[in-house]
Amino acid sequence: MKVVHEVVIVGAGIAGLATTLALNKTGIQIIVLEKAHELCATGAAIPLSPNAWGHVTNLITGATQVINFTGTINSGDIGARAVHRKVLLETLANELPENTIKFSINMSRPSPTSRNSKPTPSSPLKSKALIGCDGVHSVVAQWLGLTAPVLSNRSAIRGLAVFPSGHDFKHEVHQLVGDGIRAGFVPVNDTDVSKYSKFQLCCFFNLAASTLTHNGVVTVAGDAFHPMTPDLGQGGCTALEDAVVLARCMANSPDSMSSGMEMYVKEMRWRVAGIIT
């Protein structure tokens, strides 16, 4: 007899692992499908703004906290916290039950001519719900009918400079803004020595917030839900918000996963629309 999983999550990135961990804490059993053969992280460090750890919005209740940025403020209370992307992924993964993540699993793209064609894994399985955390070119988002992403004509160059003997930088976010250009750096503590001499051109996309949706017990989170340009620095942050809000909504609707997903989309749709616009 084939096992029926409560929820299948596609993608083991920040959104996928955070959503898995959040739902798991509510008692929901999850299986994660990842096409790569191991955890992969694009980029170096990731700054986690206050919204990523619940300072601006109370992720448990949904209440928004108003912060006054006039006068003197304690940056330690509301400043960004930086962490290496790979470390964040590994930390999230280590909190999950053993064998939660299934690697080297490819998802077939749904047929563009059939609305009944659903994204399916290379190894068939059954579940009560499906959450796509599979990035900007999400096969789950495609099945939901979300508008295809378009080129934003914005690009970003990221790097990681390592000081083997430490550095004297204060724990502050530094940003320089010019005519069409934004630069900055975030000091982090690390002892690994590395050099990055190659540049890789990446295309970044945006998606109209009006297309964000769900269909029954199928929804999306992270970049699959709300692609963002790199200059916002909010892709990973809002993915973490998605995870907690989705878990809260589904926990508050134990008899109907569909209703929980509907509440999640309704709340996060306008939340991310305000950030993107």
- The whole-number pLDDT of residue 99 equals 93
Determine the average pLDDT of the residues in 258-267. 93
Q: Flag whether pLDDT at 213 surpasses 80.
A: no
Instruction: Report yes or no on 169 lying in a domain.
Output: no
Instruction: Report yes or no on 170 lying in a domain.
Output: no
- The whole-number pLDDT of residue 57 equals 56
Q: Give the C-alpha separation, 28 to 32, whole Å.
A: 13
- The whole-number pLDDT of residue 69 equals 46
Determine the average pLDDT of the residues in 14-34. 94
Count how many domains the chain has: 1
Instruction: Report yes or no on 103 lying in a domain.
Output: yes
CATH number reported for the structural domain that contains residue 28 in this entry: 3.50.50.60
- Decide which of 44 and 83 is more confident: 83
Instruction: Report yes or no on 210 lying in a domain.
Output: yes
Judged on CB neighbours under 10 Å (0-12, 13-18, 19+), 119 is buried
Instruction: Report yes or no on 171 lying in a domain.
Output: no
Instruction: Report yes or no on 190 lying in a domain.
Output: no
Quickly state the pLDDT bin for 123 (edges 50, 70, 90). Answer: low
Q: Provide the residue range defining the domain that includes 134.
A: 4-157+199-276
Instruction: Report yes or no on 181 lying in a domain.
Output: no
Instruction: Report yes or no on 162 lying in a domain.
Output: no
Q: Which of 14-28, 116-130, 134-148, 218-232 has the lowest mean pLDDT?
A: 116-130
- Decide which of 23 and 111 is more confident: 23
Determine the average pLDDT of the residues in 225-251. 87
